[in-house]
Amino acid sequence: MTFTKDIETTFAGMSLILRQDAKLINSVTLESWLSDTQLVPIWIPLQIDNGITKIMPVLPDSKLYPQLMESICLHICRGRVPPSLEWQNKPYQPTGVEVDSNALHIILVSISANAPLPATLGRAIHAQFFQWVAHADAALAEYLHQHNILPMTVSMQYSSRQRMQLRITLLKPELLAPLLWGLSSNLGGEITLGGVPCQLGKWINIIQSRSFEKLAEIPLQNTIELQFISPTSFKKNQNIQPFPLPELVFGNLLRRWNRFAPAELQFPQIEWQGLVSAFELKTHALKMEAGAEIGTVGWVKYRFSDPEQARIATILANFAVFSGVGRKTAMGMGQTALKNQ
C-alpha cells in the first residue's frame, strides 16, 4: 500500500440520508435491503441533525465504493427502495444519497471512562488508531508505521477526566474507509485506554471535511491568527524549539501540504519573511510514557507583507486545522485552530 500522487480515489465515502417515519409500512431492514449485492457494508450512524439521520455504508477499502454506489443506484432506479427502511428498530424514509469526495476530514467519537484516565494517553490513542486501521488493512497500518510524516492526527478533547471526545483527522481520502471499518467493531462497545475500560459512543460525528482544491481558493490574509490548542513544539538543529516562529510553523505546514496535496497544488520552497506581531503563549508539559514533552499553547498573530507569501500562508493556516503542526501530532500534540473560529 502506497500513497502516491497518481492514485485515483473516486470518493472517500457516502451516506444514505434518512428521515424518521411515523410508522412501519411495508418496511425492510436496512441490513437486508442490499443483501442481494456482492458487497455487504457495515452501517455506521452519523450524528442526527435537524431530524435527518445519515447512515454511512462502510467497506474496508474505498476502491469498492463505486461498485457499492452502482448497486444503490440500481436499486433506486429499479424501484427497489421500500416505503420504509427499518434501522435500529425505528422506521425511516430514504430521501437520497450523499457522496463525500473530500480528502480532509475531522472525526469525533465520544468516550466515557469507567475511572479517571491517566494523563499519559498519547501512545494509547496512537496505538488504537493503528489497531482500527489494521483490522481492515494490516499492510496499510504497517506502511503508515514506517513513515515520519503521517496523513492523520489523533488527540483527546476533555470535558472531564472521565468524559471526552477522540478527535481524528485524516489527510488522505482512502484512509476514511479502513478507519471506519475498524472503528465499527467498537462503536457502542468497550475499548481500553491506559489500562482503563472506556465506552465508545454509538455514532461518529464528521464535523468538517474539505478538499485541497477548496483550501487553495481561500482569499489571502496579510494577518493570520493561529490558536495552538495542545502543546506544540518543533525540532530545530537537533534541539526542541517550543516557540512557534513563523518559519517553523509555516515551513512545517508547507512540507505536510506538499506531501499530501495533488501535484498541481504544491508550493515551491519558501524563505519565510513573516513576523510575529502579537502573542499570548505559555509553555505546557504534555505527559508521555517516556517523559514529559514541553510545548507551547496559546495564540499568535503572524503578519506577511509579501502578497504571495501571505496567500500561501493563508492556505496553510486553514490546512493546519486538519494537519496539526509541529511534532507528534499523531499523539495529541500540535492541534491547531484559526483563532476566533
DSSP string, 134-192: HHH-HHHHHHHHT-SS-SEEEEEEESSSSEEEEEEEESSGGGHHHHHHHHTTTTTSEEE
**Percentage of the chain modeled with pLDDT above 90:** 65
CATH, domain 212-338, list 3.50.50.100, 3.30.70.1900, 2.60.120.580, 2.70.98.10: 3.30.70.1900
C-alpha 111: how far from its chain's center?
16
**Range 76-90 average pLDDT:** 73
Burial 63-102 (b: 16+ CB within 10 A, else e): eebeebbebbeebeeeeeebebbbbeeebbbbeeeeebeb
Is the CATH number 3.40.190.10 carried by domain 1-209? no
- Residue 82: per-residue pLDDT: 64
- Residue 88: per-residue pLDDT: 82
Angle at 11 between CA 9 and CA 12, to 5 degrees: 100
Cα distance between residue 111 and residue 165, in whole Å: 6
Give tens-digit pLDDT for 171-221: 999 999 999 999 999 999 999 998 999 999 999 999 999 999 999 999 999
Which of 115, 122, 162, 116 is CA-nearest to residue 289? Answer: 122
Residue 136 to residues 61, 77, 140, Cα–Cα distance (Å): 8, 31, 9
Mean residue pLDDT across the chain: 89
- Residue 3: per-residue pLDDT: 42
* Same topology between domain 1-209 and domain 212-338: yes
Out of 94-98, 205-209, 336-340, the most confident range is 205-209
Residue 27: band (very low, low, confident or very high) from pLDDT cuts 50, 70, 90: confident
- Residue 205: per-residue pLDDT: 94
Domain locations in the chain as residue ranges: 1-209, 212-338
- Residue 35: per-residue pLDDT: 72
Give tens-digit pLDDT for 231-267: 999 998 889 999 999 999 999 999 999 999 999 999 9
Cα distance between residue 138 and residue 1, in whole Å: 10
pLDDT surpasses 90 at 279: yes
